[in-house]
Amino acid sequence: MKREIKINKLLTKVIIIITFIVIFKVYLEQKSFLENAIVQAAVGVNQNTSLFSPFTSLQLWFSDLFHFNQIREEYASLKEENVNLIREVSYLSSLKEENEILREALKIKEEKKWHLIPAKVILTDPTGLSGNFWINKGLNDNLREGMNVITNNEVLVGRITKCYNQSSKVESIFAPGIRIGVENLRSNILAVAERDFQGNFYLKLIPPNADIEVNDILVTSSENSFYVKGLLVAKVKEKTPTSKIPEKEYVLETFLNHLKLQDVLIITDFSI
């Protein structure tokens, strides 16, 4: 009897272990499908504003009713402003035409711009430690791995590391271990920007007696294998020549504020 109970217990344990192994195997095999599904589900929740939208519209309706006179005044002033703007547009369009004629006459090569695709940040890494985030554009929008992500001010955000049909994973410049080759716009000095665990960026691999001052602007250099040249990265915030650690002599302040990151642009094609 006791032996039977022992065998039963042993069998139960074996079954439990096998079940776990099977679940784990399925979990790993379904990796890409589940990952995409999780992101899509989370995006769905994020964009689901319909729950409160009836209340918002009701609130707006009452607000309009109570501010009727103010709206009427604003409407009159906007109408006037509109007329002024139309006049200005017609004047500017004539200037544009003149400019184009002159440009052609001088044979100035028109500056080629990057081809950009706008995207929205939908999720960030819940741990926040890896510096990754997700955007709402993917393979369907012709995005590919390795493409650079910037803000509308041409500030470097990061690069795409993984692409799915409708979403992509972006590795930001705040990811640990990221090294960005930078160039000082004023003195053309080349160096490397790197982040420490406190979130501060420092300049490394600076040539001796380099001409770097506070408020100098740093852009991506041509030495980067992942980033396009000329993107804004940071400015020199502090200079401590007496620093005991030579690599922490220059403290940088990034132009990118990852806490306020909502809209980004992806460079899909570029020519300089």
Using the rule CB under 8 A, which residue among 7, 22, 129, 214 binds other proteins? 129
Smallest gap, in angstroms, from Cβ of residue 30 to other proteins? 9
Cα dihedral 224, 230, 234, 235 in deg (nearest 10): 120
Handedness of CA 78, 84, 87, 89 (dihedral sign): negative
Give the whole-angstrom CA distance, residue 159 versus residue 136: 14
Using the rule CB under 8 A, which residue among 3, 259, 271, 272 binds other proteins? 259
Does 128 interact with other proteins (rule: CB under 8 A)?
A: yes
Collapsed DSSP state (helix, strand, coil) of residue 121: strand
Does 243 interact with other proteins (rule: CB under 8 A)?
A: no
CB atoms within 10 A of CB 135: 25
Using the rule CB under 8 A, which residue among 64, 73, 104, 196 binds other proteins? 196
Region 1-60 residues binding other proteins, contact defined as CB under 8 A: 20, 23-24, 27-28, 31, 34-35, 38-39, 42, 45-46
Using the rule CB under 8 A, which residue among 132, 136, 168, 221 binds other proteins? 132
Give the whole-angstrom CA distance, residue 63 versus residue 55: 12
Q: Which is nearer to other proteins, 121 or 232 (CB)?
A: 121
> With contact defined as beta carbons under 8 Å apart, do 124 and 136 qualify?
no
Does 246 interact with other proteins (rule: CB under 8 A)?
A: no
Cβ neighbors of 159 (< 8 A, separation 6 or more) are 146, 147, 148, 149, 170, 171, 226, 227
Using the rule CB under 8 A, which residue among 198, 209, 242, 271 binds other proteins? 198
What residue ranges bind other proteins (CB under 8 A)? 20, 23-24, 27-28, 31, 34-35, 38-39, 42, 45-46, 123-134, 161-162, 174-178, 196-199, 258-259
